[in-house]
Structures are given as structure tokens and as C-alpha cells.
Amino acid sequence: MQDWSLTLDKLLDHAARWHGGREIVTRSVEGPVVRSTYADIHRRAKQVSHALLEAGVKPGDRVATMGWNSDRHLEAWYGAIGIGAVLHTLNPRLFPEQIVYIANHAGDEVLLADPACAPLLAEILPQCPTIRQVVFLSEAAPPTPFPALAYEAWIAGRPADTPWGGFDENAAAGLCYTSGTTGNPKGVLYGHRSNYLHAMMTLQPDALNLSARDTVLLIVPMYHANAWGVMYSAPMVGAKLVLPGQKLDGASLHELIEAEGVTYSAGVPTIWQMLLAHLKATKGKLTTLQRVTVGGSACPESIFRTLRDDYGVDVIHGWGMTETSPLATVSVPSPAIAGRSFEDQLPYKLKQGRLLCNLDLKLVDDAGRRLPHDGRTFGRLMIKGPTIASGYFRAEGGEVLDDEGFFDTGDVSTIDAEGYMQITDRAKDVIKSGGEWISSIDVENIAVAHPKAALCAVIGVVHPKWDERPVLLVQLKPGEQAGKQEFLDFLDGKIARWWMPDDVLFVDEIPLGATGKIDKKRLREGLTGYELPFDPNLRR
Amino acid sequence: MQDWSLTLDKLLDHAARWHGGREIVTRSVEGPVVRSTYADIHRRAKQVSHALLEAGVKPGDRVATMGWNSDRHLEAWYGAIGIGAVLHTLNPRLFPEQIVYIANHAGDEVLLADPACAPLLAEILPQCPTIRQVVFLSEAAPPTPFPALAYEAWIAGRPADTPWGGFDENAAAGLCYTSGTTGNPKGVLYGHRSNYLHAMMTLQPDALNLSARDTVLLIVPMYHANAWGVMYSAPMVGAKLVLPGQKLDGASLHELIEAEGVTYSAGVPTIWQMLLAHLKATKGKLTTLQRVTVGGSACPESIFRTLRDDYGVDVIHGWGMTETSPLATVSVPSPAIAGRSFEDQLPYKLKQGRLLCNLDLKLVDDAGRRLPHDGRTFGRLMIKGPTIASGYFRAEGGEVLDDEGFFDTGDVSTIDAEGYMQITDRAKDVIKSGGEWISSIDVENIAVAHPKAALCAVIGVVHPKWDERPVLLVQLKPGEQAGKQEFLDFLDGKIARWWMPDDVLFVDEIPLGATGKIDKKRLREGLTGYELPFDPNLRR
């Protein structure tokens, strides 16, 4: 068979040649919606390549971007990877000190940024000595205290025939840092081959089910988790691509969906909540949208129901992480489930889904022993495959694979007999009591249904006999008063007896992190010195 | 990213682990329909591997099969490729002397054959010295004049933990010979990697659109054109597989489709014609079948219409050849076509379709210059990609790629602005007149509509001025009589003037080849010595 390396430049070549007239629509940083095609993107990406080579960028060098989803961002992306440079997507929403750390750790050399990032760059660039050229992804560069170029002038008049590819398919293509809830952010280095295979895996009906006939609204930011691979899967099939820029509010998204005939989209639950609120308020309709993949965190049941019942949109759970390229499981119906009613399918749709081809999953206990796939036993979720990280950039974090080559996701989950995986907790939050595990999230979800509760958190506290025991922390609704027993009675019968918290603490405020999740690290710090009321005879 | 070679053994591992209970249903050589699962197939394939290793089979050795589509054939298939042997599918329908040539050329060492092949084997085995072991894919071996084993006894009691894989993904996995209309049959050697990529390419909605929910009836013989890759794509997604054995008549297929809930199938037009005849005669229904891919030869419009209108089944043209793994184009709707009525889509559905991702096509003239994709200009169809042959086994036929790395399909076709490719002729049958090409098939298809015509053929005859000119050969219906001018008048206005045949010859019989196609080689031989009525002033 023919030699044919799996390098990603071929995907845009293919799109330009076979789907050249298919549109890329962007809500531009300048404001208006602008229209482009795969042929245009290809031509201009080649011009970017020429400019990067002239700037001295060599294979393996890091070219950073900092911007929202746009046509120019896509051109910069392929312009960099086409010549073997590594496209590093910086997240402009991180704290400036995190961005400085990441840019220095990555050793970024050229930075292509949205003009809205100019004030942020003025703050961080003095601390980023490796960045030697800044290009603003716009017509004109904003006034800045540092030297910078404007993208359009930078690429204007350049030849569009810079050769692409010709390097090894295992060469690095992309770099994306995890947010790093503990320790410093760590970089995941994607290869041409891994991204290529990931794109092929996501096209199939049991994954994102993408075809040339789809119009894809990419809400997931291009700097987040490899943009769910859509930068590769859309050109691979010639799907129309709609890039919403910085405006992710319900009204702006709804306008784009209807105006462009969007059939498919992907995003976190919050996005759909905002869109639904807008639709309800404006009595809006979704006339073309067929299906959405929801990931990032568990999607509330109400979103599944409302999008289906009121708007005819199928919601499909997906799961993955930066380290898994990212898509790994999708909650499409198994053969046994497919014929059932929506109500009977819903418990499965609420799980994170079934494994894509080419991957393997296992659940293990603390000793690394495999646990059964019975839908009840939960263990550490380990994953293996060609699209899964084998380590972090510059070997941060050292060895991360077990002796069977599996990567530890840091999640705790169950897998049922139909193969549906469900995340039950983060491994660091699960409570290890007498050799068995208690899901903090399961107990929280039940406790927070108490009418007096505003927020609930469950954390493990050291226990002299059982290693750890759960403690429930409750933030009451304003003006409410309650006692411990009230909450224990509320939980009674709803959870296993040995899952019952050993104590209930009322706190003024349960701290939330940047993404709106409960900040358990700060909660634990707040409990330093706290000791459980120890009853040696108590065995729940 | 993790190391993870694309070896095909992983596909059955995955199916056994994640779709282990999904059924494989076979109409067995013994008669009854038998049921198995991916877990069963995996276990027994491992036993085959053990038996093959004991028989001295080493990586790269050829293990041949000769049989119909069955569970045992599938087990033998994976049993061989799992240990790095090359699975060579012999076609029992070839002439014995062809099979002898192929088996000797391949150097087959072990042969697993259906018991129905025993008489054929008795004839050919004395001339196949490399085959040192014969195993019949059955409970008991039939009586034979040569030593042979029975499959069930051969694998019984063997361990099911023989290690698989561990070799390079570019290692050979399969060997399939082309029928060879000219010269000796030539072998196409598939790699693990090429078959793996092909399977991933075929899953997507723009190809075969296969999911875990599909029940696939594989009518295409496993010995034909890499079985359209279904041996790999079905386990990759955990589709239920229905293997029809030797009974491909309408009644037998209909019974299987309805009993097993078949949703998808693939086969040549003749199969669907037989099925439709059966359905019409018995007033049968198709209650589960959703779509069929038709390839091998152009599918008549009546099959598209009848399967859709009377049975609700979508017919999708596919094109490929042994040398292209095989699937290369599929006639799924382009974005521009998708919204149209069936009648408006039909002209596109009748073409061979749009290119799969990862492949490239070009049309060239005799000098190798690229021709436009305007839907009218036709040229030699050249193809490139990781699933396309780079040459033949043992370098038969020498260099087959052009200087851009494209493989010459031997077909002549057009490509339209929407990317739909249509085969217009075989390159050896196209008539080259004054530097331009005339499609013999186009003229034949129009001429045969003449009410007096039974069969028509158009072949090129040497012409002193225009190089070649077309001559129409007509086999009249029994009892009919006609003159040349009658046929020329019939063609007038329906084809370009310069396509008009320079002569019309009436023959008693137009010879047909083994597959029912007109045998133009014999027609040309029959015209040896014939000279065109040369009119130097004639320029059509």
C-alpha cells in the first residue's frame, strides 16, 4: 500500500480541493459576520506559513495563539502546523501569572492574539522573554506599549504555495495546558498522528456523527481541550464551520444558529442553559439544529428534556479531557437501548457514555486491581489508546502510565454491563472508608435537595479506624436555620448506611472555584485542626 | 501521545471486550443458521492462532482460505492475521488453472476451505506444492484423496490466550488477487495499517455510516475485494454481523434479512435484482433494512427506484476496486444536493460518488496532464492515499504509480463540480479519436435502446487520420432485421456528431465474459483484418 503519513496539513489540503467552496463563517473581532471558504482558509494559511518561516520559525518551535474562535485563528493554526511548528493555544481567561508560567514553560516564540487581549499582553509580555513577535489577528493592530504587527498586513501579498508536511507523522502538532487544580499547569503535546486518528474516530455515527452536510457551530473555545478535535474533523469531511468569536451569550448564539443553518454544536452545559433562557424569554425556535454534544461537566437532566421536548434537539453526553485529545466516550444508544422510549433511555443518556473504537478503559482499586463492569462498583478510571497522553510536556509529573500502559484520568467512575461509563467523583475527592469508596458527589447531590440547603459539600476527614469518614458541610439558604440531625434524617434511606456523614458542619459560605465548581481544596484547608467526633463502636 | 500500533488484532480484541455479546449469525455449511458472538469468535480465533503456530506458520507466511462467508471463516481470518500471517482469500469460482496459478504465486502454506470445495481441491492440490496442510471449515472433513483435517477437531481444546500483535503496523495482513482481464492475476497485499485506516474511513456518515446499532448482512464474498473492509469495520463498532454462507438466492437472503433484523447490506446489482424478483413474486416486505451500498458495477436506475418506492430502502452507489481496499467513493448527498427531491438527487445517486477523506483523485489525459472537474471532460482516473496499492505482490506489473504517486485505476471517468465521480468507460475500451476520447459505454447504452437490438458493443478501430474511430456492433433480437442507417439515425441527435460510429456491423452473437460483461477482447480479435470504410473528408 502507498506511503502516506498522517500529517494534519493534508486535512486542509483535502478540504480546499474537495470542499473548497464550503463556508467558514465567523463573528469577527471587528464585529460583523464574515464569510470565508476552505479554499480561502487554505490559501491564507499558506501565507501565514510563509510569514512564520520568514520570522525564523523552525519545525518543533512553538507558535502561540490567544484568541476566540475565528477564521484567522484557524488560518494561523494550519499555518503553524503545516510547516511542522507546534500550535500552542493560550487561554486568555487564566490568571496573568498562570499565562506567564505557561508561555515560558512552553517557550513560545511567536504569538498571534486577538486585539482584545492587548491590555493583558501589556501586563505579561515583559515577563515572557521567549516571545519575540506579536501579531494581532485583525485588520489593524491596537496601540500597544510593545511592538506588534497586524495580521492582514503581515500576510498580505505573500505567496500561497509554501510546502507543507514532509515530516514524521509522530511529530508534535499542538500543545494545550491543563488548568492544573493542583500544582502548576501541565502541557499536553498532541501529535499529527494522534490528532489525525482522533478526528477519524470522532466522525463515526457512534461519536459526533459528522458529515459534509453538517453545519458545525464550534462553541468550545479553540484554546480549550484541543477544540474537541473539530479543527481537524470539520475539514476532514468538509462540514461548514461557524465560529462565534467572543460572543457566547444566548442571543448571539441563537442568531448564528438560525442565520447559518447550524445542524450540530458542542459545548458545556452552561452554554445551553444560557441559550434555553434566551429562547424562553424570546419565544425563539431552533429550526435547523439537530443534535448537540455536551461535555466538560455532567449535563443536568432538564437540559436533555427541554432541548428535546421543546426544540427537537437531541442532547448527547460526551466525555474526555485535555489528556485524551479529548473525546473518549459518547452516550449514544447501545443496540439494547436503542429501541426503548426516551424515558427508558434517559438513565443511559445521563451517563458519560460508551467507549470509542481504538480506546480501552479499565476501573481499578487503589492496588491497581481491575474492578467489575457492573454499573455499581466504582474505581479509578484508567484509559489507553493512540489519542491518550503518555506524559506531559518536558516530562512534568514524571511517569503517568501504569504498567499496562493506562493513563490515570483522576476520575472515579462506574461502567455498566452495556459499556456505559459514568463519572462518580474526582479521585482526590472520593472518601476512602475502611477500604471502600464513598462518592462525595453522590451524597452532595442528595443533601442539596434539602429545602433549607443552598450548597452542600462532602469531604473526607482522617479517621483513626476507617482511614477517612465523610463530613457534610452545609451552606444554608439566607435566613434558614437547621440542626445536624435534620440533615442526617434527610439522607437516611437515600444512601447506604455506611455512606452516612459522621458529622454535619454549617458554614457561612462554601467557596467556589473559577469554573463555578466547589473548591474542595479551600474547604479542606479551612478544616485544618478539625477532628471527627470519634465513636469507636460506630460502624455505619 | 501513547504508542499504539494500528494492527488489526486490536479490532477483534476491542469487539470481544466492549461488544462481546453482540451476535455473529451464519448460515452454516452444514445447513442451519448458527449463532455466535464477538467473544466466541475472539476465543476461537485465538485457538486457530495456536493451531497455526503449531503447524509452523510464521509471520509473513500465507494462510489461504477458500470459502463462503461464515463464522469459521472469520475466526480463521483473525487467527491468521493476529499472529502476523497473511490471510490470502482464494476465490473458489475461478477456473482451476487460475487458482493453481494464484496459490503457487502466493506460496500458500495452509489452506482452510469449505467442504464444498473438496472436489475442486482434489483437482488442484497436486499442482500446488506449497500447500502442506488442508483444514475443512466444518465439523467433519469430507472424504478426500488427500490428507485433510476438520476445523472443529483441529482447534478443540487449544488454549485461547495466544498473544497477538506486537509486529509493525505496516506488516502485511491480507492478500487478494485481481481477476486479471488481461494477463495473469495480480496480488494486492494489504497492510495492517492500510486496512485499519480503511475501516475507520468507511464508518463515517459520508461512507457506509456504520454504528453499533447496525446489523450488517455481508453479501459481498469474503474472498472478493477485501470484503469491502467489513471484516474490520463491523468489529470496530460492534455491529451485528450476518454471514449468508453459500445461499445468495432471493428467498434465502430475504429470510435472513427479516429474521435477523438486518439494517444494512452491501452487494452487486445482480443480488438486489434477485432479491427484488423474489419480493415481487412472494409479496414480501423489508421491515428492517434501511440502506444498501451497491458496487461492483453501475446499479440500474430501476433498482434505486424500486427499493426506495416499494420497500423504503435507500440505495447508495459505492466505487472501488481490489487495489483500493476497496472503498474510495460513495454517492452520498453533497450539501448542495441534500435538500433536493429524490428525482433531482437521482442523477447524482447514479454516479459513483464523492471521495472519502484521506484520498485524492485526478483525471488525466494520455500525456498525464490534469483535466477539469466539469462533469463532462473525461480522463483516466488516478487515485492516491494510504489505502491504495503502490504495486502488486512480488512486483508483478512493475511500477504502477505515476510521478505524483497516483495509481492508475484503468477506468475513465468524469468528476463534476460537486465532486461526484462517474465511471464512463474502461481505459482500454475508450476510443481515442483525433486526440479526444469517446466513451464506448455511453454509445452502447443509447444504441441498445433501439427496439431491434438485443446487445450492442462499441469498439475502436484503427483509423489513418483520427487514430481510432468507433464501430458499432449489433446483435439483433431473434427474428429481427435492420440496416446500418437505421441505427445511425437512431443515434443522431443523442450523441455528439463526432462520436457517431463510422460503421455498423451486425453479428450473430456478442460474446460475454464470466461476469456477464461484454467481452471486448474477443470482439476485437474477431475484427482482426477488418478495415474502416475510410472517408478522408469525413469529420463528424
pLDDT grade for A538, boundaries at 50, 70 and 90: low
Active-site residue, selected from the candidate residues A272, A437, A466, A499: A437
What is the distance between the alpha carbons of residues B422 and B437, in angstroms, rounded to a whole number?
15
What is the distance between the alpha carbons of residues B321 and B328, in angstroms, rounded to a whole number?
8
pLDDT grade for B41, boundaries at 50, 70 and 90: very high
What is the distance between the alpha carbons of residues A5 and A197, in angstroms, rounded to a whole number?
12
For residue A243, the cross-strand partners are A26
Closest Cα partner for A121 from A88, A155, A139, A147?
A147
End-to-end CA distance of chain A: 64
pLDDT grade for A298, boundaries at 50, 70 and 90: confident
What is the identity of the amino acid at A313? V
Three-state DSSP class for residue A471: strand
Task: Kindly tell me if the per-residue pLDDT of A537 is higher than 80.
Answer: no
What is the distance between the alpha carbons of residues A352 and A419, in angstroms, rounded to a whole number?
10
Contact by Cβ (8 Å): B128, B151: no
pLDDT digits (tens, 9 = 90+) for A453-491: 999 999 999 888 888 999 999 999 999 999 999 999 999
Q: Which residues of B touch A212 (CB under 8 A)?
A: 206, 332, 334-335, 354
What is the distance between the alpha carbons of residues B202 and B211, in angstroms, rounded to a whole number?
11
Dump strand ranges (E) for A253-355.
264-267, 291-294, 314-320, 327-330, 354-355
Across the range A141-154, mean pLDDT stands at 97
Q: Which residues of B touch A213 (CB under 8 A)?
A: 333-335, 338
What is the distance between the alpha carbons of residues B68 and A305, in angstroms, rounded to a whole number?
48
| B305: closest CA of chain A, how far (Å) | 23
> Which residue in A204, A226, A360 has the most chain B C-beta atoms within 10 A of its own C-beta, making it the best mutation to test that interface?
A204
Closest Cα partner for B76 from B174, B167, B169?
B174
**Higher per-residue pLDDT: A431 or B534:** A431
Question: Residue A367: CA atoms inside 13 Å, Cβ hemisphere, count?
Answer: 4
pLDDT digits (tens, 9 = 90+) for B290-340: 999 999 888 889 999 999 999 999 999 999 999 999 999 999 999 999 999
| B271: closest CA of chain A, how far (Å) | 27
Across the range A71-78, mean pLDDT stands at 98
Taking CA–CA distances from B400, the nearest residue in chain A reads A2
Residue among A1, A17, A332 whose CB faces B190 most closely: A1
Q: Which residues of B touch A402 (CB under 8 A)?
A: none
Contact A2 B212 (CB under 8 A): no
Confirm whether A89 is a catalytic residue: no
Q: Which residues of B touch A234 (CB under 8 A)?
A: none
Task: Kindly tell me if the per-residue pLDDT of B536 is higher than 60.
Answer: no
> Which residue in B176, B211, B330, B357 has the most chain A C-beta atoms within 10 A of its own C-beta, making it the best mutation to test that interface?
B357
Catalytic residues of B: 178, 323, 432, 437
Closest Cα partner for A171 from A155, A187, A195, A148?
A195
Longest dimension (CA), chain B: 81
Size of chain B, expressed as the number of residues it contains: 540
Reported pTM: 0.93
Whether the link from the prior residue into B326 is cis, omega within 30° of 0, is yes
Q: Which residues of A touch B405 (CB under 8 A)?
A: 2
pLDDT grade for B533, boundaries at 50, 70 and 90: confident
pLDDT digits (tens, 9 = 90+) for B203-230: 999 999 999 999 999 999 999 999 999 9
Q: How far is CA B332 from the centre of its chain?
A: 19
Residue among A206, A240, A358 whose CB faces B211 most closely: A206
Task: Kindly tell me if the per-residue pLDDT of B181 is higher than 70.
Answer: no
| A477: closest CA of chain B, how far (Å) | 45
| A70: closest CA of chain B, how far (Å) | 22
Specify burial of residue B134 (Cβ count, 10 A radius: 0-12, 13-18, 19+). buried
Residue among A18, A189, A401 whose CB faces B419 most closely: A18
The string of DSSP letters for B106-157 reads: HT--EEEE-GGGHHHHHHHGGG-TT--EEEESSSSPPP-SS--EEHHHHHTT
- Grid coordinates standing for B459? 469498439
Question: Residue A250: CA atoms inside 13 Å, Cβ hemisphere, count?
Answer: 17
Q: Which residues of B touch A332 (CB under 8 A)?
A: 211-212
In chain A, DSSP finds a helix count (H) and a strand count (E) of: 16, 25
- Phi/psi of residue B157, nearest 5 degrees: 75, 0
Task: Kindly tell me if the per-residue pLDDT of A536 is higher than 60.
Answer: no
Contact A358 B4 (CB under 8 A): yes
Confirm whether A437 is a catalytic residue: yes
Contact by Cβ (8 Å): A360, A383: yes
What chain A holds in terms of domains, given with CATH numbers, is 12-247 (3.40.50.12780), 360-426 (2.30.38.10), 431-526 (3.30.300.30)
Question: What pLDDT score was predicted for residue B526?
Answer: 87
Average confidence score pLDDT of chain A = 94
What is the distance between the alpha carbons of residues B527 and B534, in angstroms, rounded to a whole number?
16
Active-site residue, selected from the candidate residues A26, A178, A202, A263: A178
Dump strand ranges (E) for A123-276.
133-136, 149-150, 172-177, 187-191, 215-218, 240-243, 264-267
Average confidence score pLDDT of chain B = 94
Contact A335 B194 (CB under 8 A): no
Taking CA–CA distances from B384, the nearest residue in chain A reads A2
Question: Residue B174: CA atoms inside 13 Å, Cβ hemisphere, count?
Answer: 35
- ipTM value for the complex: 0.92
Q: Rg of the Cα trace of chain B?
A: 24
Question: What pLDDT score was predicted for residue A535?
Answer: 64
Residue among B2, B205, B333 whose CB faces A385 most closely: B2
Choose the weakest-confidence range: A519-528, B48-57, B109-118, B276-285. Answer: A519-528
What is the identity of the amino acid at A119? P
Contact A211 B191 (CB under 8 A): no
The string of DSSP letters for B454-466 reads: EEEEEEEEEETTT
End-to-end CA distance of chain B: 64
Contact A335 B17 (CB under 8 A): no
Closest Cα partner for B412 from B374, B438, B445?
B438
Contact A201 B206 (CB under 8 A): no
Longest dimension (CA), chain A: 81
Across the range B106-124, mean pLDDT stands at 97
Specify burial of residue B182 (Cβ count, 10 A radius: 0-12, 13-18, 19+). exposed
Taking CA–CA distances from A357, the nearest residue in chain B reads B236
